[in-house]
Structure 1
Amino acid sequence: MEPLVQIEEVLTELKQGYSGVFRCLGADQQYYYVKGHNVGRDDQAREWICGKLAQAFGLPIADFCLAEIDECLHQYLPDSMKKIGSGVCFASREVKHAEWLQPNLIAHKVSAELQSDLLVFDWWVKNGDRNYGNPNLLWVSNEEKLAVIDHNLAFDSEVTEESFFEHHIFSEAKHRIFTDLAHIAEYRDKIAQAISEFQPAVDVIKEVWPWRDLEETRPFELDSAALLAILEEYKNNDFWSMK
């Protein structure tokens, strides 16, 4: 069983970015941005899987974990916050001193290597939700470092080569990656190593989220085979052949 951070307080609903995210205080006295029952099991599952894949891929993803909201705590929440639900949630630890990275500042703040890594990773997991309007990146200015967040819209079967590379915030890295056989070979190896984290992540999901609803009347059956099929597209030459 994955360790659970107990949530002691549900403080406020986040207004920026994806709706339905709550800032909470954990029993470890750390602050977390929590995606609870209201975002849906599919979103929670995608966050967990992509978080594990991103770690294995070597991305600077914000620390994340599973958190638990006790039924007693949930009972006394204001009506406006009850939608977070109770039970196990996905939680991303607050990155101290971080600010939303402004797209016009990215070129000189983020290294070319990291831009390439993010582009390939998002293409691999079919995450079309890292664009100029919503980069889902945090910047810690006093440490000059990036923190990557939000993968709840990954595994999007409707993401196409055209739509992805037209809108991704680091799309300019496309030509230096996909026209270089050495880069392609390097990224194939990185993906082959990272994909080993997929099944362990799925096993955790089956354990902690067996139900879609709080009443435990509707089983949550993750279509892991469909998600794995998307991830295994990297083995095909078409994945690396850009028009």
Structure 2
Amino acid sequence: MLRQVTAIRYVTPLREGGSLPGVVEADDLGTYVAKFRGAGQGPKALVAEVICGELARRLELRVPPLVVLDIDPVIGRAEPDQEVQELLRNSGGANLGMDFLPGALGFDPVAHPVDPELASRVLWFDAYVENVDRSWRNPNLLVWHRELWLIDHGASLYFHHNWPRAEAAVHRAYRGAEDHVLAPYADGLAEADADLAPRVTPDLLTEVLALVPDEWLTAADFETADEARAAYRNHLSARVANTADWLPQGGAA
């Protein structure tokens, strides 16, 4: 499983998007951006964060380290914002923590030109996991120590919000390509496809899925975590076997 830490202080909310993440300090002396299970998107957003984040890491894309963040709602008692207090009350137990990158800058395509090979690999990855939340309006990319870091994958894996129709989504074309912030740089999609697709094996997916806490996987749709992991693995294996169906036009090798 992911490393587990305990939140000891709620520092401040990050008022970006609808999930109201917050910065917290933990008992390992680390500082994390917390994604809460009690937020509107629920545990499925945390499942997507782990699957996509850890898969991206294994494909050599940079993602801040993830942890399972145990939260006692009592840490929110001194928080003056009633919305935050309610969120913490509804998020007791295992939540997701993403390592806070101090001094990181939000990605600006003018100030931070991206190598075409890296841009192509990120676009391939986002197309695979159906991440429509990497637009120029909201890149969900950080620049830290002059390197590009991927964050916020909770809106990915759209298929898991409707499992009865998930099989049809295996072949669904990626709908975020035209709006993708790195699309202007990504001129090597065929090369990215040839390199990355063979690396996404059932064994790799099994390794990644093992990192997702059981309680998030059984919060909806599935009676057992093993049943849930098998469903995710089958879907993602079928999708990567048919990259020509969903990769942006001209991208498949």
Asked if Structure 1 and Structure 2 have the same fold, meaning a TM-score greater than 0.5 normalized by the shorter chain, the answer is: yes
Q: Is the 8 A contact 1:66 1:89 kept in 2?
A: yes
The one-letter code sitting in structure 2 at the alignment partner of 1:103 is P
Rounded Cα–Cα distance in structure 1 between residues aligned with 2:33 and 2:60: 22
After TM superposition, the structure 1 = structure 2 runs for residues 117-128 of structure 1, keeping only pairs within 5 Å, are 117-128=121-132
Rounded Cα–Cα distance in structure 2 between residues aligned with 1:239 and 1:59: 20
Rounded Cα–Cα distance in structure 1 between residues aligned with 2:146 and 2:187: 26
Given the alignment of the two structures, is residue 196 of structure 1 paired with residue 203 of structure 2, yes or no? yes
Q: Is the 8 A contact 2:61 2:122 kept in 1?
A: yes
Match of 1:62 in 2: 64
Structure 1 residue 166 displacement after superposition? 1.0
Q: Is the 8 A contact 2:48 2:155 kept in 1?
A: yes
Q: 1:200 to 1:177 in 2, by over 3 A?
A: closer
Structure 1 residue 220 displacement after superposition? 8.4
Given the alignment of the two structures, is residue 43 of structure 1 paired with residue 45 of structure 2, yes or no? yes
Q: 1:134 to 1:210 in 2, by over 3 A?
A: closer
Match of 1:147 in 2: 149
Match of 2:3 in 1: 3
Rounded Cα–Cα distance in structure 1 between residues aligned with 2:193 and 2:216: 36
Q: Is the 8 A contact 2:173 2:247 kept in 1?
A: no
Match of 1:169 in 2: 181
Given the alignment of the two structures, is residue 185 of structure 1 paired with residue 189 of structure 2, yes or no? no
Q: Secondary structure at the match of 2:10?
A: strand
Q: Alignment RMSD, CA only?
A: 3.0
The one-letter code sitting in structure 1 at the alignment partner of 2:56 is A
| TM-score, with structure 2 as normaliser | 0.77
Kindly provide the CA deviation profile for residues 160-192 of structure 1, in whole angstroms up to 9, marking residues without a partner as x: 6463211111223555323xxx55322222333
Rounded Cα–Cα distance in structure 1 between residues aligned with 2:193 and 2:15: 39
Q: 1:134 to 1:89 in 2, by over 3 A?
A: same
Match of 1:130 in 2: 134
Q: Is the 8 A contact 1:41 1:220 kept in 2?
A: no
Q: Secondary structure at the match of 1:164?
A: coil
- Paired residues in the alignment total 230
Rounded Cα–Cα distance in structure 2 between residues aligned with 1:95 and 1:154: 22
Match of 1:95 in 2: 101
Rounded Cα–Cα distance in structure 2 between residues aligned with 1:33 and 1:131: 21
Match of 1:104 in 2: 110
Structure 1 residue 224 displacement after superposition? 4.2
Counting aligned pairs with the same residue, the percent is 22
Structure 1 residue 211 displacement after superposition? 5.8
Structure 1 residue 27 displacement after superposition? 1.1
Structure 1 residue 240 displacement after superposition? 4.7
Structure with the bigger percentage of helix: 1
Q: Is the 8 A contact 1:52 1:198 kept in 2?
A: no
Q: 1:18 to 1:196 in 2, by over 3 A?
A: farther
Kindly provide the CA deviation profile for residues 51-80 of structure 1, in whole angstroms up to 9, marking residues without a partner as x: 110111110111211111135545666543
Rounded Cα–Cα distance in structure 2 between residues aligned with 1:7 and 1:166: 39
Match of 1:81 in 2: 84
Structure 1 residue 239 displacement after superposition? 3.8
